[in-house]
Amino acid sequence: NHVALTWKQVASDVVFNFYVNGSLVASKTNTGSSVSVSALRIGGFTTVDNTSNLANQFRGSLYDMQFYS
């Protein structure tokens, strides 16, 4: 499977789109937000999850990852 996440700033909102094999499967708009690229987390939901709540960690393999800006 191929997965992709895109986001774009629209005025004061951020629109996130999630694709699987080229098909849009989910979309979310965060109102009054901005995108920060200072921290990228893969496999965890929040800082708390990354340090103490291992039940929410990704348990799989990732390969051939590519990042574009």
Return the H-helix or E-strand segment holding 47.
helix 47-51
In which residue are the tokens 């989910």 written? 26
Task: Please provide residue 48's backbone torsions phi and psi, each rounded to the nearest 5 degrees.
Answer: -60, -45
Task: Please provide residue 56's backbone torsions phi and psi, each rounded to the nearest 5 degrees.
Answer: -100, 15
End-to-end Cα separation, the chain, in angstroms? 22
Note if the pTM is more than 0.75. Answer: no
More confident residue, 29 or 62: 29
Neighbours of 14 (CB within 10 A): 18
Is it the case that residue 9 has pLDDT exceeding 80?
Answer: yes
> How far is 44 from 37, CA to CA, in rounded Å?
16
Please write the tens of the pLDDT for every residue from 11-59.
888 888 999 999 999 998 888 776 666 666 676 655 554 455 556 667 7
